[in-house]
Copies of this chain bind each other. A is one copy, B any other.
């Protein structure tokens, strides 16, 4: 058997097919764990420092000690990329509640690092149709493993013909299950919700973009406002900027990617793909 993929668990390497964890782990028993996920392009981690910042923030917020220092994680990440010949793909750090004697109280956390080859879309990609869902994620600012609602609603999403969901609550639009949401006002101001969301690394880059004539502001807005937007797009690690062309069947703007969406996408693609702006080298 040719082993094509290695995973790292608590300091030991495993062929990915043999990578396992004891069933008393609190992630499995109680959905208690955090993770982070980032891209490898040309063999190099993209925005790694931001992802590690968030990983350590998430672990502190859930009271989970990663058990490894930041520089050790950087070394493991470079090692797993090399060992898996990962030129382009994703690396996931997953930190769990650990083995629990009573099935409820966290133990010593388990840390897993996995690599998956995957090609990332260059360019803007097709415009997305979103289906709105009234739901507020619990502990939204922590990158927990809680995707129960999102996975549960996949059959309903498929039936609707939409590409992804857009969560909203009484306070307004929040986020997609795995992406941040942005709208562009009639005045050309880019808004992204300020509260009740996971603060994505790509979202942060867009907030910092400072492109001439394209103000980007954190500000909550309603689903009705989003549906009346001049443009809309989402951001995530796997697809830096993707246009949103409809929400619940209501066409956004002229139904194709708007000018501001295109400019932000180009800027971000350059940042991600040129290598000039790698933060970790």
Taking Cβ atoms with an 8 Å cutoff, the residues of A that contact B are 7, 9, 17, 19-33, 62-63, 92, 94, 96-97, 103-106, 112, 114, 116, 135, 138-139, 144-152, 154-155, 178
B23, B104, B146: the one contacting A148 at CB < 8 Å is B146
Please indicate the chain B residues that have their CB under 8 angstroms from the CB of A145 in the complex: 28-31
A105–chain B nearest beta-carbon distance, Å: 7
Measured CB to CB, the closest approach of chain B to A205, in angstroms, equals 23
- With a CB–CB cut-off of 8 A, which chain B residues contact A106? 151
Interface centre among A7, A30, A33, A94 (most CB of B within 10 A): A30
A104 touches B147 (CB 8 A): yes
CA distance A20 to B99 in the complex (A): 11
Structural contact, A28 and B30, CB atoms closer than 8 A: no
Q: Is the interface of A mostly helix, strand, loop or mixed?
A: mixed
Shortest 10 CB-CB contacts between residues of A and residues of B: A31-B31, A30-B147, A20-B20, A31-B146, A32-B151, A19-B23, A31-B145, A27-B28, A20-B22, A31-B148
- Whether the pair B139, A29 counts as a contact (CB closer than 8 A) is no
Q: Shortest distance in angstroms between A165's beta carbon and chain B's nearest beta carbon? A: 13
Q: Knowing A19-B22, A20-B21, A114-B23 are in contact, say whether A28-B151 is a contact too (CB < 8 A).
A: no
- Besides the known contacts A23-B112, A31-B144, 18 further A-B residue pairs in the complex with CB atoms under 8 A apart: A20-B22, A21-B28, A23-B94, A25-B28, A26-B151, A27-B28, A28-B96, A29-B145, A30-B145, A30-B151, A32-B147, A32-B148, A32-B151, A63-B152, A97-B151, A104-B178, A106-B151, A139-B148
